C-alpha cells in the first residue's frame, strides 16, 4: 500500500478546504492510503511515498511550522529523495509560500515534484476545489505508475 501525506496549515480555513479536497482526490485511486494532518515530524515524512503540503502565505513567508519541519529534516538527514511532492495554498496578496516550499522539496530534498503549485486567492471556489481533487488523484496515479515500473 502506497502512503500519501496531505499536510497543511490553515488559519482561515481556506487552505484546509483545499487539503481536504486533495485528500479526497488521492483516496480515489485504489492501493493508496491517505493521511490528512496539520502536524508531522521530520522523521514521519520519510514513512510516506508522497507528501503534499498546504501552506498559506502570510507576510510573504512560509509558515514557521514548515520552516522548522524542513530545518529538522535537513539536520536529521531525513531522505525524501525520489518521493513525490506537491504544494498548494491560499493567499491574500502574494502567494509565494507554496512556490518556496516546492523549491525546497525539489532542490534540497531531491523530490519528484508536481509543478506548478496549486494556488487559490482567498476562498477556494468550486473550480479550485475541483483542481485540488485532480491534484490529489494525480499524486496517487503518479505513485501507482512508479510501482508499475
Asked if residue 146 has pLDDT above 90, the reply is: no
As a whole number of angstroms, the distance between CA 69 and CA 53 comes to 11
Q: State pLDDT tens for residues 26-74.
A: 999 999 999 999 999 999 999 999 999 999 988 888 999 999 999 999 9
Class of domain 2-134: alpha beta
Q: What are residue 118's DSSP bridge partners?
A: 88
Asked if residue 114 has pLDDT above 90, the reply is: yes
As a whole number of angstroms, the distance between CA 145 and CA 149 comes to 7
In this structure, the strands spanning 118-121 and 112-113 are unpaired
Q: How confident is the model at residue 118 (pLDDT cuts 50, 70, 90)?
A: very high
Q: What is the predicted pLDDT for the residue at 60?
A: 85
The grid coordinates of residue 94 equal: 502574494
Q: What is the 3-state secondary structure (H, E, C) of the chain?
A: CEEEEEEECCCCCHHHHHHHHHHHHHHCCCCEEEEEECCCCHHHHCCCCEEEEECCEECCECCHHHHHHHHHHHHCCCCCCCCEEEEEEEECCCCCHHHHHHHHHHHHCCCEECCCCEEEECCCCHHHHHHHHHHHHHHHHHHHHHHHC
Asked if residue 92 has pLDDT above 90, the reply is: no
Q: Give the residue from 142, 138, 136 showing the smallest Cα distance to 34.
A: 136
Sequence spans of domains, the chain: 2-134
Amino acid at each position: 500500500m502506497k502512503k500519501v501525506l496531505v499536510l497543511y496549515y490553515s488559519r482561515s480555513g481556506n487552505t484546509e478546504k483545499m487539503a481536504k479536497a486533495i485528500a479526497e482526490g488521492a483516496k480515489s485511486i485504489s492501493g493508496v492510503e491517505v493521511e490528512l494532518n496539520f502536524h508531522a515530524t521530520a522523521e514521519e515524512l520519510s514513512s510516506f511515498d508522497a507528501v503534499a503540503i498546504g501552506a498559506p502565505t502570510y507576510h510573504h513567508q512560509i509558515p514557521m511550522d514548515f520552516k522548522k519541519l524542513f530545518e529538522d529534516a535537513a539536520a536529521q538527514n531525513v531522505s525524501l529523495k525520489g518521493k513525490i511532492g506537491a504544494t498548494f495554498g491560499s493567499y491574500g496578496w502574494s502567494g509565494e509560500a507554496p512556490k518556496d516550499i516546492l523549491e525546497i522539496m525539489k532542490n534540497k530534498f531531491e523530490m519528484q515534484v508536481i509543478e506548478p503549485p496549486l494556488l487559490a486567492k482567498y476562498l477556494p471556489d468550486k473550480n479550485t476545489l475541483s483542481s485540488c481533487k485532480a491534484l490529489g488523484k494525480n499524486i496517487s496515479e503518479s505513485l501507482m505508475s512508479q510501482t508499475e515500473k
